[in-house]
Chains A and B, each alone.
Chain A
Amino acid sequence: MADLTAQAAPETAPRGAADRLSDLLWRRQGLLILLLILPPALWLGIIYLGSLFALLAQSFFSIDPFSGLINYEFTLRTYAELFRASNLDIILRTVLMAASVTIAAAIIGFPVAYYAARYAKGRWKALFYLGVMLPLWSSYLVKVYSWKLILAKEGILSWIFETLHLTWALEAYLSLPVVGGNSLSVSWTGTFLVFLYVWLPFMILPTQAALERVPPSMLEASGDLGARPGQTFRHVLLPLALPGLVAGSIFTFSLTLGDYIIPQIVGTSARMIGQAVYQFQGTAGNIPLAAAFAVVPIVIMGVYLYVAKRMGAFDAL
C-alpha cells in the first residue's frame, strides 16, 4: 500500500485544443450553460417571440374602411369587432370544436396510453410507439384528403353502412341539426373525426409518459385500502395522470384552435378561427383583425391553463 501512494501519478497534462477547451468549460460551468442556451434563446426570443409580438401589435391598429389602409394608431376598435355576432360565432364554434376534440381524444387516448404504460413490454412497446407515431410520418394533407374520400357520400363508410343494411341509421344521423349534413364529409361530424384522428397521438404520448411514472404499487395500495378499481381510477390514477392529460389537451386544444386546413377540406362552409385569420390577412387584407383573431387562442389557452392549475392539475408534478 505504502509504495503505491508514494508513486501516485501526477494528473495527466492536457493534450491538444479539445482537452484545453474541455478543461476551460469544466472550470467555468456558467460559460458552458451560456454557450448551450444562447442560440435557442436567440431563436426563441427574437425570431419567434419577436415576430409573434410584432403580429400582436398589429391587433391594436385598425383598418381604414374606405381606403383599406392600415391606420397606425393605438385603438381597441379591432378587438371590439371580434364581438360582432358573425365573428363571435366563429370563436364559439372553434372553441366548441376544440373542446369536443380534446375530450374525445382524452377518452380514446387514455386506455391506449394506460395499456402501453402498464402492460406493453419490449416488442409490444415498440409496436405501440410505431402505431401511434406512424400516422405522423405521412403528409398531413394526404391524410386529410384521404378522410374526405372515406367520409364522402360514395366513400367507404357509406358503403359499410349500406353493406350492413344500416344506411337508414346514417341517414337519420345526417338529418340531425348541427352535426349532420348532406354527407359526413361536409358535416361538423366529419371535421370532428378528422381533427380527432390527426391530433390523437399528441394526446396519447404525454398521457402515456405520465402514466409510466405511476408506480404499480400506488394502484395496489389503493386497492389494498379498499378501493374498487373505479375508485382507484378516480382518486389515484386520474389525479396522477392529469399533468399528462393536460399536456396532451394543450396540444389537441391549441392545434384545433389554430388549424385552417382541415375545416377547409372537410366540413361545412362555416369558418373556424384559423380560416378567419387566413382570409383576413390574405384576401381581405385586414391584418389588424387577423392579428386580433390570432390573440383569441392565446387568451383561451392562458385561461385554460390558469383554471387547470387552480384545479390542481399540476399538483402531482
Chain B
Amino acid sequence: MTTAIAFRKVSRHYGQVRAVDSVDLDVAEGEFFAMLGPSGSGKTTCLRLIAGFERPTAGEIEIFGRPSSKVPPYRRPVNTVFQDYALFPHLNVRDNVAYGLMIAGVGKAERHRAAEEALAMVALPGYADRKPSELSGGQRQRVALARALVNKPKVLLLDEPLGALDLKLREQMQVELKSLQRQLGITFVFVTHDQGEALSMADRVAVFNEGRIQQVGRPQDIYDRPQTPFVADFVGSSNVLSPEIVARLTGRHAHASLRPEAVRQQPGGRDAQVVELAFLGSVTRMTLTMDGQSLTALVPKGQPVPDKGSTIQIGWDEDALHLMEARDG
C-alpha cells in the first residue's frame, strides 16, 4: 500500500506554543483518515501543514514520498474543504466550482461541463447560476466539496466540514461523504472534534491532544482499547479509574478505562451512590460515586431507574475494565 501522507517528526511552534509537537504519522492511499481531538489539539494545524498554508518549524511532511517543505500550496496535489467553506462571494456556484480548472487553463465549455458534473455528484444540480450568498449552509458545504473534487486531487483535506450543519443534515452528509470517498477512491483526511463522526466514518483515527498524537488505530481499537486516559475520556467519554481504585480492584497500579454502557446494576456488587440523573431519550445517564471515584453509567430505556441519592449495587464484566499504560498524566 502506498503512503499518501507521511509526517516525519513534524513540529509547528508559535513562539512558546507547541501547536504540533513532533508528530509521526502515515496515511495510506485511498484511506479515510480522521484526525480527532479537542480544539487547540493541533489537528487543524496538521491539516494546514499538509495543504501548505503553514510550514513546519521542524521535521518534514512527505506527500506521495516527496518532501513538501519547499512546495507551495498551489503546487500540491491536495485540495481542501474549508471549515467556513471559503466560497468566493463574487462568483456564482458554477465559477466557484470551475475555479481550479480555470486556473489550470481548461477551456470555458469544458470546465463548465466538469463543474456541472461535480455539482451533480454532490446532489446539487441546477444551482450553478446562484451566488453562494443565496445558498443554505448545507448547500454551500456541497459546493465547497464539488469545488475541491472537480480538480481530482490525490488527497482531499476536510477541516470540520460538517461542523456548521444541524444534526440531521450532518448525519446525512456523513453517509454521503463516506460513500463518495469509496466511489472515488481518493484519500480523505478529515479533521473533527466529534468523536462519533470520526468513529463512524474513518478507516483509521488519530487522536490528538496538546499537539501530540495520543493514539492511532481503527475506530474499534480506539474505542475498545484506549491507550491513554485522555483517549478513554475523549472518545466515548469513558470512565477513567484512578490507579488507587484500580489497585484495590485488580491489584495492579495503573489507570483503567470503563465504558459507561459496561456498568450495570448488579445485586451483590459494589456500593455506589446515585449523584445525578440525566434523561437522554433512549438512555438515562447516571453519575455515581464509588469509593470516592466518580463514574458514569447508562440505564437503557425500559429498565428501572434508581432514585437520585439512593445507594445501588453495580458490577461489570471482568474484561470491560481496560488497563492503560501510564503514558501521560
- Residues on A lying within 8 angstroms of B by beta carbon are 215, 217-218, 220-228, 231, 235-236, 239-240, 312, 315-316
Contact = CB atoms under 8 A, between A and B. Distances in A.
A223 B74 contact: yes
Contact of A221 (B52, B86, B90, B102): B86
Contact of B74 (A226, A235, A239, A240): A226
Contacts of A220: 51, 53, 73, 80, 82, 86
A217 B82 contact: yes
User: Dominant SS at the A interface?
Assistant: helix
Contact of B99 (A225, A228, A239, A316): A225
Interface of B: 51-53, 72-75, 78-80, 82-84, 86-90, 99-100, 102-104, 147-148, 151
21 contacts: A217-B84, A218-B86, A221-B80, A221-B82, A222-B99, A223-B53, A223-B73, A224-B51, A224-B74, A224-B79, A225-B74, A225-B100, A225-B147, A226-B75, A226-B103, A227-B99, A227-B103, A240-B88, A240-B90, A315-B90, A316-B89
Most chain B Cβ neighbours within 10 Å, of A224, A231, A235: A224
Given A217-B84, A220-B73, A221-B80, A226 B100 contact: yes
Nearest to B87: A221
A215 B86 contact: yes
A226 B74 CA distance: 4
Contacts of B78: 224
Contacts of A217: 82-84, 86
B141 to A, nearest CB: 14
Q: Across chains A and B, which 7 residue pairs bring their CB atoms closest together, nearest first? A: A225-B100, A221-B86, A217-B86, A223-B73, A316-B90, A239-B90, A227-B103
Contacts of A227: 74, 99, 103
Nearest to A221: B86
A226 B51 CA distance: 11
A210 B87 CA distance: 17
Given A215-B86, A222-B99, 7 more contacts: A220-B73, A220-B86, A223-B72, A224-B51, A224-B73, A224-B80, A224-B148
Contact of B88 (A218, A223, A224, A312): A218
Contacts of A231: 103
Nearest to B100: A225
Most chain A Cβ neighbours within 10 Å, of B53, B83, B86, B104: B86
A226 B105 CA distance: 11
B79 A225 contact: yes
A217 B140 CA distance: 15
A100 to B, nearest CB: 28
Contacts of A236: 88
Contacts of B100: 225-226
B99 A235 contact: yes
A239 B131 CA distance: 15
Contacts of B151: 225-226
Contacts of A228: 74
A90 to B, nearest CB: 38
Contacts of A239: 90
Contacts of B103: 225-227, 231, 235
Contacts of A315: 90
A225 B73 CA distance: 8
Contacts of B89: 240, 316
A152 B159 CA distance: 60
Contacts of B102: 235
Contact of A215 (B53, B75, B84, B147): B84
Contacts of B84: 215, 217
Contacts of A240: 88-90
Contacts of B99: 222, 225, 227, 235
A224 B148 CA distance: 9
Contacts of B104: 226
A288 B80 CA distance: 63
Nearest to B84: A217
B259 to A, nearest CB: 34
B234 to A, nearest CB: 27
A315 B87 CA distance: 14
A312 B91 CA distance: 11
